Structure 1
Amino acid sequence: MPHRKTLLLLIACAATSLAQSSDPGLGTNPDAQGATSDVTPGSGPNGSEDFLNTGVRGEGWTAPFLSWDSLIKVDRPTFYGNVGSSCQQYDWAFQQSGDSHGIDPVFLAFIAMQESSCNADAGGPTPGLMQVACENYPDHQCTNDVAKNVDAGAAFLKQQLDATGRNAIKTIGNYNGWFTEGDETGLNNGRGLTEDYPCSADGQAHGQPQNLDYLQQTLNGWFVGLNPQGDENWIGQYQCKGSCDNDQLC
């Protein structure tokens, strides 16, 4: 029989493990490697984080293919009725831009939550709901005007879908500034994104992605109706805090 302290430790570890998982009841994506019906820190219905981040811990991100049309996701009423409630007031804009660019409006809501928590007044160099680069606006001028901001985000998303052959992983990564060797950005000595890049001198100088959990949080968080910035903040294996202090990777 285990020692009492050992038994208590085992119970505590089991409780922690159970707390850091959630079953959204959506099944799994058959095309996604490492997909699990439960969302854990490193996996979920749209694949494991190691699959989504292929190459990040090696020679550079390679963005494996996962069809946009195969993604496991919740619908808009479910999203708005739970973790995406702050987005519902902007549904008119998501519908308008989604219809214009041939994108299911719920995807725009998911990205708005990840990017700005659906805060139309969010600041920064790329302000507003979608936090999209200024070059994606018709006049190349950033604005937090809801209609223009959402349309710029939708236009960029559609551009990436077309450019990647509807590869969901590459599209979502590109939205956050992730890059592969084939993108020829010249960043990271011409390689794809690696886990040591965000906190390197080059990475910090270029303001490149400070969240290596972005794909996991988006595809296995918001897309399946969980909140990686709230109750499910354990989603992601890197737990990026936006700081490179204390030997953090991002």
Structure 2
Amino acid sequence: MAILKLAVLIALAAALANAQSANPGIGSNPTADGATDDVTSNTGPNGSEDWLNTGITGDGWSPPYLALEDIYHISLDEFYAGIGSPCKQYDQYFQSASSKYGVDAVILAVLAMQESSCNADAGGPTPGLMQVSCDNYPDGQCTDSIQDNVDAGTKYLTDQIDSSGGNALQAFGSYNGWFVKDSGLNGNKGLTEDYPCSDEGQSNGVPQNLDYLHQVLNGWLMGLDVYGDDNWIGTYGCDQSCGDGSKC
């Protein structure tokens, strides 16, 4: 009986592990602290969530350095064959922006999937596939052109990379509205764990998702569906509101 109970416990543990982790077969990034071959709720090939979020639980976000070309990710074909299938119809636009700005097309497709679920008709103040403000369009004016939209998102990303001295982590964070320590915001502390749902944080609109970097770098870029079956990726559990008790 004891052996049977032990077998049942082992089986349950294995089932839980399978439900809460995924192995993209990519390996772990040697330039990222806490990187693991498997994706878990708080780790993955591009580093641990604690590392990506350095400073958020203390005196403000101080993003560690990771160059764009050093980020691990699946191939574009793998992305289109999996969760990124809605993005495939826009491949020509991602390829054009990739050539123009020197950003791998799969990163652009992943951002479009994360931002709008690859819906070119997504509305709001930051419309379209890439969900960036009209300031990034030609002449600072939004247009109906899908290519202008993808170019605008790519331009914003590369501008942020350039302004951060080549740090892709800071650039991705900026894409989601994150800001660094000594930025002048949040009492000059930058983004902190308590900020998204503080009075000041909520006064600035939709709160930042503190799982964002982990979900993009270790979720979407690994071909995992962060909005669907793989929504266990991340430890803050933010639904981009402050009414559920989460820190966002």
TM-score range (shorter-chain normalised) is over 0.9
Look up the equivalent residue of 1:249 and give its one-letter code: K
For residues 212 and 243 of structure 1, the distance between their equivalents in structure 2, rounded to whole angstroms, comes to: 12
Q: 2:224 aligns with which of 223, 226, 238?
A: 226
8 Å CA contact retained: 1:127, 1:143: no
Of 213, 216, 220, 1:215 maps to 213
| Structure 1 residue 247: Cα displacement | 1.9
Q: CA RMSD in A?
A: 2.0
Task: Deviation per CA, 1:165-224: give whole Å up to 9, x if none.
Answer: 221211110111100124x2x321111211111111111111264311100010001111
- Distance 1:10-1:188 versus aligned 2 partners, 3 A rule: farther
* Deviation of the 1:246 alpha carbon: 3.3
Q: Which residue of 2 aligns with 1:24?
A: 24
In the alignment, structure 1 residue 92 sits paired with structure 2 residue 92: yes
Q: Name the CA distance, whole Å, in 1 between partners of 2:185 and 2:208.
A: 15
TM-score (normalised: structure 2): 0.93
Counterpart of 2:152 in structure 1 is 152
Give the gaps of 5 or more residues in structure 2: none
Asked whether the 8 Å contact 2:40–2:233 carries over to 1, the reply is yes
| Matches of 1:140 and 1:16, distance apart in 2 | 49
Distance in 2 (CA, whole Å) between partners of 1:227 and 1:248 is 21
Partner Cα separation in structure 1 for residue 112 and residue 207 of structure 2 = 17
Q: Give, in whole Å, the separation in 1 of the partners of 2:246 and 2:173.
A: 21
1:239, distance to aligned residue in structure 2 (A): 1.4
* Aligned partner of residue 45 in structure 1, secondary structure: coil
Aligned twin of 1:205: 203
CA distance in 1, matches of 2:217, 2:144: 25
**What percent of counterpart residues are identical?**
55
Matched AA of 2:157: L
Query: Is the contact made by 1:46 and 1:220 (CA closer than 8 Å) also made in structure 2?
Result: yes
Q: Which residue of 1 aligns with 2:51?
A: 51
Residues 1-250 of structure 1 aligned to structure 2 (within 5 Å): 12-143=12-143, 145-182=145-182, 184=183, 186-207=184-205, 209-250=207-248
Q: Distance in 2 between matches of 1:44 and 1:171?
A: 19
What amino acid is the match of 2:202?
A: Q
Distance 2:127 2:239 in 1: 20
For 1:114 and 1:56, locate their aligned partners in 2 and report how far apart those are by CA, in whole Å: 22
Separation of aligned partners in 1, 2:45 and 2:207 = 24
- Contact conserved, 1:130 with 1:153, CA < 8 A, in 2? yes
How many residue pairs get aligned? The number is 248
* TM-score, with length taken from structure 1: 0.92
Cα deviation, 1:58-102, whole Å, max 9, x if unaligned, reads: 111100111211111111111101111110000011111111112
The offset of 1:125, in angstroms, is 1.4
For residue 72 of structure 1, what is the amino acid of its counterpart? Y
CA contact (8 A) 2:74 2:222 kept: yes
What amino acid is aligned across from residue 223 of structure 1 in structure 2?
L
CA distance in 2, matches of 1:141, 1:10: 59
Query: How far does residue 3 in structure 1 lie from its aligned partner after superposition?
Result: 11
Q: Quick one: distance in 1 between partners of 2:111 and 2:144?
A: 15
